[in-house]
Amino acid sequence: MKLRIATDSLARLKQGRTIALTGAGISADSGMPTFRGNNGLWKKYRPEELATPSAFSQNPQLVWEWYSWRLEKLISVVPNEAHFALAQLEKMEILELIISQNVDDLHERAGTSKILKLHGSIIHTKCIECNKKEQIAKPPRAIPYCECGGMLRPDVVWFGESLSPKIQDEAFQEAATCDNMLIIGTSGIVYPAAFLPNIAKKEGAMIIEFNVAPTAITPLADYFIAAPAAESLPKFLANFQS
């Protein structure tokens, strides 16, 4: 079954440059808890206790326990139909790029190759001494250390930390030059990512939002598709499959 999109909007999607901005909600249907939902990550933990540099310097053990728990969760889940639909849209050259706020690897495991990860990757570590980055083999039982002796941290952007200037500039550039932006599963609360829909809109892009509830972004949307992404994205994809 298709999702009803007006003919001129479909033509715009087929001819124009389309990018997607994704948030934790796209991974919700895989079973990954979101940040602010009712079973959200922040419910069990206090954000100021965990995803900040000061929390890590004060209590690296607790921060690693949280990330290890999230990694356990991540290796136990698989990409859902929303991730696969976006990967298919990339293959069909309808979707040029995904800009993701997510630190999971579900887009990549679904086959997406063109992705900008604004907030880093939970399956990679970074050494706080020599900055060496590597993929984590398995969820650590204790604080992991680099061969240089330095303590390892998750290779993610914490609150109060700047995004990589290169990645941030590229994301802003993509938002300013796209014709269409699909916005999937984000509350639009976290900055500077939350600037991206405003930049796209200001430059005349068509905004299609997929979410289960209205968000701070919804007033900007040309289409608001209220359903779980794992249901709505395959129906959206069906518009491009003869």
Q: Which does 156 bind (CB under 5 to 8 A by kind): ligand BV8, Zn ion, none?
A: ligand BV8
The Cα 63–Cα 78 span in angstroms is 24
Residue 124 bears catalytic tag: no
Q: Give the span between the Cα atoms of 97 and 204, in whole angstroms.
A: 18
Among 44, 54, 173, 192, which residue interacts with ligand BV8 (rule: CB under 6 A)? 192
The least distance separating Zn ion from the CB of residue 151, rounded to whole angstroms, comes to 9
Q: Nearest distance from residue 144's CB to ligand BV8, in Å?
A: 16
Locus of tokens 């889940």: 77
229 binds, among Zn ion, ligand BV8, none (CB under 5 to 8 A by kind): ligand BV8
Give the CA radius of gyration of the chain: 18
How far is it, in rounded angstroms, from Cα 53 to Cα 63? 10
Sheet (strand 18-22) strand order: 115-117, 95-100, 18-22, 180-184, 206-211, 223-226
Q: Which stretch binds ligand BV8 (CB under 6 A): 1-9, 57-65, 138-146, 188-196?
A: 188-196
Residue 68 interacts with, from Zn ion, ligand BV8, none (CB under 5-8 Å by kind): none
> DSSP letters of 134-178?
EE-SS--SS--B-TTSPBEEEEEPPTTSPPPHHHHHHHHHHHHH-
Query: DSSP assignment, residue 20?
Result: E
Contact partner, 103, from ligand BV8, Zn ion, none, Cβ < 5-8 Å per class? ligand BV8
Query: Out of 6, 189, 226, 238, which residue is the one contacting ligand BV8 (CB under 6 A)?
Result: 189
Question: Measured from the CB of residue 41, what is the shortest distance to ligand BV8 in angstroms?
Answer: 8
**In this structure, what token pair is assigned to residue 212?**
């289960």
List of residues contacting Zn ion (CB under 5 A)? 127, 129-130, 132, 146, 148, 150
Query: What residues act catalytically?
Result: 119
